[in-house]
């Protein structure tokens, strides 16, 4: 395996691992904030209890997000020295600001974790808001660098590779920044909500005989499904905006995502199927007439460029069509699951508060992992769909990759480290919450909340 492929696999694995913890840090922080808001609004201590327990999970996950993010930053310099030569001169601003966003998140989280019992309710709301704000700001600022790679602005590159006419703010606020930052943020918030759904559904199934605990899990399920539905809907809407962005600035990525080879008006949307590179057609897919043209520019007669309009050596790999469909398919499924879950919660609102179909709860247990897979497929699609470019139109991947030997052994070593860390995190989470069961927190509540019957 050549250095370029090894570097891509190595860095992609590191980024995929870090994204898990970074995404959950963003999403769960919002759930903590909303739970504290519900605590004040409903005057129900159960929401404060949920916020405290979820915060412990956030703190544990942050303990891995920090070093894994540091590793990703270091690997940018080690694996992609050609890329970093340009990055350092053009798009360093968001990385510098992100330090302050992370500082805000870490400081507010420390205050919330260690001083929550001493803070007034409105101060807990403020602290949890600052945690959520700092986490989301960090994600948005890092996303700026990725969007710049897709739509680079704010510099010129001479024939001998020198960077000139640098405008860091033009690079920061590049054409795809706003839409992509919005998409990344709402999808992360969606994922955090569905991970709460996963735990709540699982615990709800096991706690049906314990009315007190079941009521708390039902509240967590209700809140998480409501947030999950809203964020899934916003994710879908932002996906439409992202498709229009691709049509305007990265037309070959859109063509590859849909397996479109010939430029055409009234272009169909291909759902599912596999792109056959030999026949250059989508096989076994379902075509929705005119829909790709509509997605591209809100008109059925919009002309969508096909891959034949671009040099073949710049075509993204054919498998991005599968990644795109998996990302969209998972998002659609989660939106439907959230809607069905809300319907059943509403349907049984006047019952004893404990009735939910077991089949639905068993399916909802998988909503968290499914949402994370959607995130991973989306990032792989974004990066693979840009190939063969590292910086679109300016620098190809082989120009950016390291020429040094020894990438392979390091890839294996770090892969082992990531696996070890993942196992440790699962063990720590399991041991902590076993030693601090929900029953103990209920007993230690400052003032027992009235158990509702609906």
Q: State pLDDT tens for residues 222-257.
A: 999 999 999 999 999 888 888 888 989 999 999 999
Q: Using CB atoms within 10 A of its CB, is residue 162 exposed (0-12), middle (13-18) or buried (19+)?
A: exposed
Helix (H, G, I), strand (E, B) or coil at 396: strand
Closest CA to 418 of 72, 187, 99: 72
- Report the C-alpha gap between 306 and 285 in whole angstroms: 18
Residue 379's closest CA among 19, 87, 24?
19
Interval 307-336: pLDDT, tens: 999 999 999 999 999 999 999 999 999 999
**Mean pLDDT along residues 287-306:** 89
| Partners of 269 in beta bridges | 288
pLDDT of residue 454: 33
Per-residue confidence band for 369, with pLDDT thresholds at 50, 70 and 90 = very high
Nearest to 27 by CA among 235, 237, 174: 235
Q: Mean pLDDT throughout 355-383?
A: 91
Mean pLDDT of the chain: 87
For residue 282, what pLDDT is reported?
86
Section 163-170 average pLDDT: 90
Kindly provide the b/e burial profile for residues 123-161, where b requires at least 16 CB atoms within 10 angstroms of the residue's own CB.
ebbbbbbbbbbbbbbbbbbbbbbbbbbbbbbbbebeeee
* Vertex 201: Cα angle to 433 and 218 (nearest 5): 90
Read off the pTM: 0.91
What is the pLDDT at residue 449?
43
């Amino acid at each position: 395996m050549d250095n370029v492929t090894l570097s891509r696999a190595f860095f992609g694995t590191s980024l995929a691992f870090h994204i898990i913890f970074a995404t959950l840090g963003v999403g769960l922080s919002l759930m903590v904030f909303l739970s504290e808001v519900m605590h004040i609004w409903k005057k129900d201590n159960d929401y404060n209890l949920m916020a405290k327990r979820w915060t412990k999970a956030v703190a544990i996950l942050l303990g891995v997000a920090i070093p894994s993010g540091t590793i990703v930053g270091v690997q940018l310099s080690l694996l992609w020295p050609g890329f970093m030569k340009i990055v350092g001169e053009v798009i360093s601003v968001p990385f510098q600001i992100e330090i302050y966003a992370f500082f805000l998140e870490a400081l507010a989280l420390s205050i919330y974790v260690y001083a929550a019992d001493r803070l007034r309710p409105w101060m807990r709301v403020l602290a949890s808001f600052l945690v959520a704000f700092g986490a989301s700001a960090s994600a948005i600022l890092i996303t700026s660098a990725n969007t710049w790679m897709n739509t680079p602005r704010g510099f010129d590159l001479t024939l001998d590779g020198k960077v000139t006419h640098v405008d860091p703010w033009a690079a920061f606020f590049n054409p795809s920044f706003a839409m992509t930052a919005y998409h990344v943020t709402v999808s992360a918030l969606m994922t955090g909500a569905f991970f709460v759904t996963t735990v709540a559904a699982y615990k709800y199934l096991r706690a049906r005989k314990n009315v007190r605990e079941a009521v708390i899990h039902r509240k967590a399920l209700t809140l998480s499904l409501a947030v999950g539905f809203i964020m899934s809907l916003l994710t879908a809407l932002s996906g439409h905006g992202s498709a229009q962005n691709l049509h305007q600035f990265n037309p070959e990525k859109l063509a590859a995502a849909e397996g479109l080879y010939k430029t055409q008006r009234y272009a169909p949307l291909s759902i599912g199927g596999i792109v056959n590179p030999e026949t250059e057609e989508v096989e076994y897919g379902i075509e929705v007439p005119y829909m790709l043209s509509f997605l591209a520019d809100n008109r059925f007669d919009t002309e969508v460029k096909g891959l034949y309009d671009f040099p073949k050596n710049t075509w993204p790999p054919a498998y991005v069509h599968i990644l795109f469909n998996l990302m969209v398919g998972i998002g659609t499924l989660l939106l439907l699951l959230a809607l069905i879950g809300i319907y059943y919660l509403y349907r049984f609102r006047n019952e004893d508060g404990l009735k939910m179909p077991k089949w639905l709860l068993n399916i909802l247990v998988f909503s968290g992992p499914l949402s994370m897979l959607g995130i991973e497929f989306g990032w792989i699609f974004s990066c693979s769909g840009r190939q063969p470019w590292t910086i679109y139109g300016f620098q190809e991947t082989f120009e950016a990759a390291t020429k040094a030997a020894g990438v392979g052994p390091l890839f294996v070593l770090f892969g082992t480290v990531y696996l070890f860390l993942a196992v440790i995190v699962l063990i720590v989470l399991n041991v902590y919450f076993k030693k601090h069961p929900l029953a103990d927190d209920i007993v230690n509540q400052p003032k027992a909340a009235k158990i509702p019957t609906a």
